[in-house]
Amino acid sequence: MGMLGTLGKIAMGVMVARTVGKAMGGAGGLLGGLLGGGSKDAPQSGTPKSGGGLGDLLNSFGEKDSQNSNLGNMLNDLLSGKEVNAGPSEEKKAEVLLYAMLNAAKADGKIDKEEEEKLTKHIGDASEEEIKIVKDAIESPLDVDAFVATVPEGMEEQVYIMSLAAINLDTQAEAQYLDTLREKLGISRETANLIHQKAGAPVLYS
């Protein structure tokens, strides 16, 4: 399936794990809105194209090269049920974004067994190596510094986007995690607010 395919499957699992039992809409339904083409509450100016959702949001930030755009487009296709053939560069970037999502899911505490089952229930066709990467990411302690050190230059904003998409942003712990991640990635408060606005999520800074 490849790491990009695993990323797409985990994105679906995160949506289930983080929104079941919570009111949909607003921050609680953020990833669901992005997978469905973006939040209706997002500003109209500069927002991702209708139907593009998460992939277009990734394309609008970060590296401004063809490989970066290709990753977002591939993720769009994948989440639409299409087959994709990712190259080594996209696969490596997908692994970084996968870790971003799973780390963010631990922001308000350890991922429990029930959440883990929801996160991993869709990755049965992944390779043993890919499943091990997911399991290790879920079970390892949250270490923001160690993770940030693995983020390639130019992917900082994409990592922040995937982290935002993985949470409900309804606890102080999640807000503090995003603030810490933003600072360590070297993203300005203004840029973080812009990402939140484009994603249809509450901004952190006034």
CB 121 within 8 A of CB 158: no
How far is Cα 189 from Cα 44, in angstroms, rounded to an integer? 21
DSSP state of 152: P
Q: What pLDDT score does 202 carry?
A: 92
CB 59 within 8 A of CB 103: no
**For the segment 165-201, what is each residue's pLDDT rounded down to a tens digit?**
888 888 899 999 999 999 999 999 999 999 999 988 8
How far is Cα 68 from Cα 33, in angstroms, rounded to an integer? 22
Q: What pLDDT score does 35 carry?
A: 52
User: Residue for token digits 């505490």?
Assistant: 109
Confidence of residue 163 (pLDDT cuts 50, 70, 90): very high
CB 1 within 8 A of CB 126: yes
What is the CA 116 to chain-centroid distance, rounded?
Answer: 16
Q: Do the domain assignments include residue 189?
A: yes
Given a cut of 60, whether residue 57 has pLDDT beyond it is: yes
Q: What pLDDT score does 69 carry?
A: 56
Q: What pLDDT score does 1 carry?
A: 64
DSSP state of 36: T
Name which residue leads in pLDDT, 120 or 205: 205
Name which residue leads in pLDDT, 128 or 51: 128
Axis-axis angle for helices 66-79, 88-105 (nearest 10): 60
Name which residue leads in pLDDT, 96 or 72: 96
Confidence of residue 205 (pLDDT cuts 50, 70, 90): very high
Q: How far is CA 96 from CA 18, 41, 44, 83, 100, in A?
A: 20, 28, 29, 21, 6
Mean pLDDT, the chain, integer:
78
Confidence of residue 33 (pLDDT cuts 50, 70, 90): low
Q: What pLDDT score does 105 carry?
A: 87
Count up the domains in the chain and report the number: 1
Out of 40-44, 62-66, 84-88, 144-148, which region has the weakest mean confidence (pLDDT)?
Answer: 40-44
Q: Do the domain assignments include residue 204?
A: no
Confidence of residue 11 (pLDDT cuts 50, 70, 90): confident
Q: By C-alpha distance, which of 199, 202, 205 is closest to 43?
A: 199
How far is Cα 188 from Cα 63, in angstroms, rounded to an integer? 16
Q: Do the domain assignments include residue 99?
A: yes
How far is Cα 26 from Cα 18, in angstroms, rounded to an integer? 13
Helical (H) or strand (E) element with 95: helix 88-105
Its domain, for residue 32, covers 2-199
Q: Do the domain assignments include residue 206?
A: no
Q: Do the domain assignments include residue 26?
A: yes
Q: By C-alpha distance, which of 186, 182, 184 is closest to 204?
A: 182
Q: Which residues contact 125 (CB under 8 A, 6 or more apart)?
A: 1
Helices and strands: H and E segment counts in the chain = 11, 0
Q: Do the domain assignments include residue 49?
A: yes
Q: Do the domain assignments include residue 10?
A: yes
